[in-house]
Structure 1
Amino acid sequence: MKIVSNSTPLIALSRINELDLLHIIFSRIIVPSAVYNEVVLDGAGRPGVKEVSNASWIIKMEVQNNLAVSMLQIDLDRGEAEAIVLAKEIGADYLLLDEKKAWRVARNSEIKHMGTVGILGLAAKKGLIANLDDTFEKLEKNGFRFTEEVRKKVKEELNTHS
């Protein structure tokens, strides 16, 4: 399975010591250079730096179509733009990202995508998280914002597919 990630899920899961969920669920994660640089090189002293740089299962890959990246940067940051272009280039099964504008672009590009909250829902479904509400609370306490609607949607998905 090919999974490309933007920086937000990597940082958010690192903040709550759950980055390894990505390895357990997806085996490996592919990140474009801009995402790797944003998390590891530009993030000095912040959550995710050590976790991502030490994770041998996170693979850094170069984007080929820099023109497409430049076009997307009109509305998105470089990491989001590279993640979307790379997902398209390698035929990713999923793109992990959280920002609304990037979600819209991914959806319009017909790229399946999932956010941090959805990843946690999937982890709970697989029995990797004992209490999803506690994990959501931990995420919120560490500065990650999401609506009650998103929380309910993920929990409903979990209940209907159990």
Structure 2
Amino acid sequence: MPIQPVISNTTPLIGLSGINYLPLLRDLYTEVWIPREVEKEFLALDETVYQEVLNSAPWIKVIDLTNPQSAAIYQGIDDGEAEVFALAVEHDARLVLLDENKGRKKGKEIGLTVKGTVGVLQEAKEEGLIDVIKPLLIQLRDNGIHLSKSLISDALQEAGETD
């Protein structure tokens, strides 16, 4: 049976690496695939820093699309998201990691299972990999990752971390 990969867009990589919790992806999913465009977007932020992040995470695999033009059918989203969707459809992904609302909506419309960075932290807590998510959500927000007050509130309630 072929592997059903977990495929990530750029923002979950940025968010989790920014709070030094990128290895949660390995602990939860063993291996994570990213398309070439996501690698390009990630490295464009700070090539030296983020190349080291990728080098220290050999379980993140850069995978080329079998048909590079297949991403073109996904309109109204950025190139990285389009390649994530194309790769996910091509390889029957079990999960797509994606934070942007427009992309999440589109992913669900085409039948993909979508989870964001906050969902990854919630899953890590459920699996006993971390004890609390509240300080991590605050760190993500402080690092510039957009998390609405309602998202934080809902996540804390689901995690049993309400005051």
State if a TM-score over 0.5 links the two structures.
Answer: yes
- Residue 146 of structure 1 aligns to a residue whose secondary structure is coil
2:136 matched to which residue of 1? 135
2:152 matched to which residue of 1? 151
Alignment of 1:48-87 (within 5 A): 48-72=50-74, 74-87=75-88
- Residue 66 of structure 2 aligns to a residue whose secondary structure is coil
Residue 71 of structure 1 deviates from its aligned partner by: 2.6
> 1: CA distance between counterparts of 2:77 and 2:55?
24
Once the two structures are superposed, what CA deviation does each residue of 1:80-135 show, in whole Å capped at 9, x if it has no partner?
10001101110011000101111111001110010001101111111222221111
- Residue 51 of structure 1 aligns to a residue whose secondary structure is helix
Residue 37 of structure 1 deviates from its aligned partner by: 1.7
- Residue 159 of structure 2 aligns to a residue whose secondary structure is helix
Residue 45 of structure 1 deviates from its aligned partner by: 5.0
User: Counterpart of 1:138 in structure 2: which amino acid?
Assistant: Q
- Residue 131 of structure 1 aligns to a residue whose secondary structure is coil
Pairing 1:8–2:11 present: yes
Report if aligned partners of 2:5, 2:32 keep a CA contact under 8 Å in 1: yes
Q: Unpaired runs of 5+ in structure 1? A: none
User: Counterpart of 1:122 in structure 2: which amino acid?
Assistant: E
Share of identical aligned residues, percent? 30
Give the RMSD, CA atoms, in angstroms. 1.7
Following superposition, which runs of at least 4 residues in structure 1 exceed 6 angstroms of deviation?
none
Residue 25 of structure 1 deviates from its aligned partner by: 0.6
> 2: CA distance between counterparts of 1:153 and 1:66?
38
Report if aligned partners of 2:134, 2:156 keep a CA contact under 8 Å in 1: no
Q: Unpaired runs of 5+ in structure 2? A: none
2:96 matched to which residue of 1? 95
Give the number of aligned pairs: 157
Residue 64 of structure 1 deviates from its aligned partner by: 2.6
> 2: CA distance between counterparts of 1:34 and 1:53?
17
> 1: CA distance between counterparts of 2:71 and 2:103?
12
Pairing 1:29–2:32 present: yes
- Residue 145 of structure 1 aligns to a residue whose secondary structure is coil
Q: TM-score, normalised by structure 2?
A: 0.88
